[in-house]
Structure 1
Amino acid sequence: MKKSFMDKLETKLMPIATAISKNKYLISIRDGFLISMPLLVVGSMFMLISNFPVQAWIDLLRSTKIGGLPISDYLSTVTSATFSIMAIFIVIGIGYNYAKKEKTNMIFGAAVAILSWFILMPFTTAFTPEGTKTVFQVPSIPLDWVGSKGIFIGIICAFVSVRIYKWVEDKGWTIKMPKGVPPTVGQSFSALFPIAGVVIIFFFIRIVFSLTPWGNAFDFVYKILQLPLQKVGDSLGAMTGVYFFAHVLWLFGIHGTNITGSVFNPILYSLSAENLQALQAGLPLPHIINQQFQDLFATYGGAGSTLSLLVAMFGFCKSKRIKELGKIAVVPAIFGINEPIIFGLPVVLNPLIAIPFILVPMINILISWITMRIGMVPICNGVIMPWTTPPIISGFLSSGWQGSLLQIFLIVLGIGIYLPFIKTMDKQYLLDEAKAQDVSTEDNISLDDLTF
């Protein structure tokens, strides 16, 4: 029997998706970023309060002082304690999760990740005093490197350091304490040589990079790896390509955005952080594509922008199956959760719904990008919000009233695209329900109908 197109596509994509979803490095990156998420959301909320898009409110915070400092300065301190040092949280999170995957001590995995990262870090900040042209290198922990610029080398350090730690441990080069010693003391001594191995290797790596034109590993990774990746990620082609692949995976019941996010989200977070820094400094926002653009303007109601599909189901469909499913799915969809639709309608392995399911997010991304590019809608301000924030509210907090209007427009446009496809399904379901009713009626036998 000849395979259908969907069967052929599944045969090609399933091995790739399975390999990605089980990759311990990508899972560690994803879970490491999740550890930092609540911290970044809280920090972003304080930034949002101090930059709420009402000028009178901003002026009030800047003019009202406590202890000689404006209230806005106190609010920005929380942002600095979270967003400005986000790479520290991410490195610790990745080291912890990768150590768990390698089946070694997770606390020491997190410790060697941050330790190796700091060994390679240049502990100076360039400073030019006012009125002079002389640049001084001031001993310090540079905020640039503990923020978004240090994420990629942090990821590398976390993987390499934990792998070295595990290798030394597997060789048996550990101090084994006698029985009766408290477990925490035994673990500390057991970790001594593995940690020493990490320190020695990264010590020599620092020396090697000091002899290169870049001067240190941080500048090397940022200029050679991170900047090119950010330039690729900050493009319409990359965004649409990632979302196309993610939604194709969803059609086979695979959580596509989880898979693509483990690769793409580190880039988007870096772009968001740069937008937030520009917002703090009062500069133009540099990146249209960022984490907020993805979370707030690509889809509504979850993958496939199925909030539009749900509205079409409620407003225009008559079959009992679709109506009942809509009642179950509508509240979760408002908060971006759409598994009831994905598996209940279903969207999975449904060639008819596959067309708008892929098409609507592509159109959302394209229109949002164009409107922000030409200045009709402000670029997302970099404030991290929970992905469960409902549309209209999220659009206003990220891009002002123009963002809310854009979200409304895209949801309505999505309804129009989904409508002919869901109406076709609705007609089929109505026929199925009518046939089922006829069969049920025929099966109801009355004693009065019996003859002897």
Structure 2
Amino acid sequence: MFDWLENTMAPIAEKLSTNKVLVAIRDGFLISTPLIIVASIFLLIANFPITGYPEFMEGIFGAGWDSHLLVVSNATINMIALLNVLGIAYSYAKQLKVEPIAGGVVALVSYLIITPQTHELFLNADGKPFRGFAFSNLNSQGLFLAMITAIIAVQIFAFVTKKGWVIKLPEGVPPAVMGSFAALVPSMFVMITFFLVRLVFVNTSFGSAQNFIFTVLQTPLMGLGTNNFFEVIYQFLSNLFWFFGINGPAITNTVFSPIHNTMTYANQAAYIAGETLPYIFTGPFSDFFGNYGGGGSTLSLVLLMVTMGKSQRMKQLGRLSIVPGIFGINEMIIFGLPIVLNPIILIPFLLVPVMNIALSTAATIMGIIPYTTGIALPWTTPIFFSGWLSTGSLFAGVFQLGLLALGCLVYYPFFRILDKQYLEDEMKPQDTVVDELDDISLDDISFDDL
């Protein structure tokens, strides 16, 4: 059965991990991640989850102190579509071996070309719509269109470039000048294409490409993301890949990450605006309530190894793994225990994250723990602190500790079986080859035949 699964899953994993479009989207999101984390720190400072904190800060800095911090969040979280169209296009252009900066910039301009440039809900003094880009078209609502724009713009740019339809200058011209002129014709093709796209949608009932994509594509996909089985499938597949020695999230994130990120950014925007948080299955929810301690929620297993292990292998590996495990790093367990192709530990390794997600989802729906606010904490944030800071609720951190204890109960019988096997192996007598080598004397060796 394991051979069949390995032969089936490995080709799928290989195709997903090498697909240029999916990899570009994944890597493009990563480019904006540092900015989002920094913005989230400002957002966290403005809304630190301690009773009396706002009044304390207001007493020091005066009324409206938090509005200055929110400027940073607005410049990043409310511009996430712009950041990602640039990042995805840059990553995709590198894969297609064309100038990445030019590809990224022309994709950014193309996105702005098809974006409405008036606020229909706001009128100026002469009764006309206020001119300017609305945050709603630049934040998470425009994220899927940003992905599509980045990919199509770079494909056109690369096609024209590789056809040789570029302006070639004589030798001796500075490289910067030569590069700018080389990008001129490809950029013109891209911008004309998106100008025509804009004209098409302006004359439809949707009014803009944003409204079309949001209605036809993004809303249904986000509906998929709100399905209770969405996160269960993600956790199951991610950890199943790990079982075969393949970095699970590196594969599954190429498909699931756009939906996770869109829901995360939507919660961030709602949190900043003081609105009801719309989504449960954000990136922080998946990271901090599904897989504490790394894939398979192995921090529970590591605690058992440290506190109840009888074999030296379990004890020593547990001691080495406990600190990295607290920070979500568990490759030492994955490959050292090992988890890989270990049928004894497979069941809890797959079951515990799914159980965590099911219980956390139920607790969120029932109001026991709050929705995650979308604040982007590093995935290495330790358990308890990650639950507290990602939701603003201390009880959410306590809830995580409850999941940790429950995970120990699920892992325990399988841990005991494996620990017993390792202990029996350690108690077996050493191979007699060592003793035989000790008995060999130089007198027994003859050099006459050499």
Q: TM-score, normalised by structure 1?
A: 0.93
Whether 1:189 aligns to 2:181 is: yes
**What secondary structure does 1:437 align onto?**
coil
Contact residue 61 and residue 70 of structure 1 kept, 8 A: no
Whether 1:256 aligns to 2:248 is: yes
**What secondary structure does 2:119 align onto?**
strand
Give the residue type in structure 2 aligned to 1:150: G
**What secondary structure does 1:109 align onto?**
helix
Q: CA shift at 1:301, angstroms?
A: 0.9
**What secondary structure does 1:387 align onto?**
coil
Whether 1:300 aligns to 2:279 is: no
**What secondary structure does 2:207 align onto?**
coil
Q: CA shift at 1:280, angstroms?
A: 2.2
Which of 283, 287, 295 is equivalent to 1:291?
283
Contact residue 47 and residue 76 of structure 1 kept, 8 A: yes
Residue in 2 that maps onto 1:108? 102
Structure 2 Cα separation of the partners of residues 144 and 378 of structure 1:
25
Residue in 1 that maps onto 2:447? none
Q: CA shift at 1:12, angstroms?
A: 1.1
Counting matched residue pairs gives: 440
Please give the per-residue CA displacement for 1:189-236, whole angstroms capped at 9, x wherever unaligned: 111100001011111111111121101111100111011111111222
Residue in 1 that maps onto 2:83? 89
Residue in 2 that maps onto 1:20? 16
**What secondary structure does 1:378 align onto?**
coil
Residue in 2 that maps onto 1:405? 398
Which of 349, 354, 360 is equivalent to 1:362?
354
Alignment of 1:329-344 (within 5 A): 329-344=321-336
Contact residue 392 and residue 403 of structure 1 kept, 8 A: yes
Structure 2 Cα separation of the partners of residues 17 and 377 of structure 1:
35
Q: CA shift at 1:421, angstroms?
A: 0.8
**What secondary structure does 1:197 align onto?**
helix
Please give the per-residue CA displacement for 1:143-186, whole angstroms capped at 9, x wherever unaligned: 11111111100000100000001111111111111111111111
Alignment of 1:50-449 (within 5 A): 50-62=46-58, 70-128=64-122, 137-399=129-391, 400-437=393-430, 439=432, 443=436
Range 336-345 or range 274-283, more displaced: 274-283
| Alpha-carbon spacing, 1:365–1:119, altered in 2? closer, same or farther (3 Å) | same
Q: CA shift at 1:123, angstroms?
A: 0.8
Contact residue 239 and residue 349 of structure 2 kept, 8 A: yes
Q: CA shift at 1:61, angstroms?
A: 3.7
Q: CA shift at 1:441, angstroms?
A: 7.7
Contact residue 235 and residue 289 of structure 1 kept, 8 A: no
Range 31-40 or range 254-263, more displaced: 254-263
**What secondary structure does 1:125 align onto?**
strand
Structure 2 Cα separation of the partners of residues 57 and 440 of structure 1:
70
Q: CA shift at 1:279, angstroms?
A: 2.0
Structure 2 Cα separation of the partners of residues 73 and 443 of structure 1:
79
Structure 2 Cα separation of the partners of residues 126 and 397 of structure 1:
37
Residue in 1 that maps onto 2:27? 31
**What secondary structure does 2:48 align onto?**
coil
Q: CA shift at 1:129, angstroms?
A: 7.2
Give the residue type in structure 1 aligned to 2:140: S
Structure 1 Cα separation of the partners of residues 127 and 209 of structure 2:
22
> CA RMSD of the aligned region, Å?
2.1
Give the residue type in structure 2 aligned to 1:25: V
| Alpha-carbon spacing, 1:369–1:233, altered in 2? closer, same or farther (3 Å) | same
Structure 2 Cα separation of the partners of residues 221 and 367 of structure 1:
33
Give the residue type in structure 1 aligned to 2:267: N
Contact residue 356 and residue 403 of structure 2 kept, 8 A: yes
**What secondary structure does 2:430 align onto?**
helix
Q: CA shift at 1:135, angstroms?
A: 8.6
Contact residue 123 and residue 129 of structure 2 kept, 8 A: no
Q: CA shift at 1:128, angstroms?
A: 4.8
| Alpha-carbon spacing, 1:107–1:318, altered in 2? closer, same or farther (3 Å) | same
Structure 2 Cα separation of the partners of residues 443 and 272 of structure 1:
65
Q: CA shift at 1:136, angstroms?
A: 5.6
Contact residue 64 and residue 70 of structure 1 kept, 8 A: no
Give the residue type in structure 1 aligned to 2:154: V
| Alpha-carbon spacing, 1:420–1:127, altered in 2? closer, same or farther (3 Å) | same
> Any gaps of 5 or more consecutive residues in structure 1?
none
Q: CA shift at 1:438, angstroms?
A: 6.3
Contact residue 123 and residue 130 of structure 2 kept, 8 A: no
Structure 1 Cα separation of the partners of residues 355 and 128 of structure 2:
50
> Any gaps of 5 or more consecutive residues in structure 2?
442-450
Structure 1 Cα separation of the partners of residues 232 and 25 of structure 2:
22
Please give the per-residue CA displacement for 1:341-373, whole angstroms capped at 9, x wherever unaligned: 111111111111111000000000000011111
Q: TM-score, normalised by structure 2?
A: 0.93
Whether 1:49 aligns to 2:45 is: yes
**What secondary structure does 1:82 align onto?**
helix
Structure 1 Cα separation of the partners of residues 21 and 116 of structure 2:
26
Range 45-54 or range 20-29, more displaced: 45-54
Contact residue 174 and residue 192 of structure 1 kept, 8 A: yes
Identity of matched residues, %:
42
Contact residue 375 and residue 390 of structure 2 kept, 8 A: yes
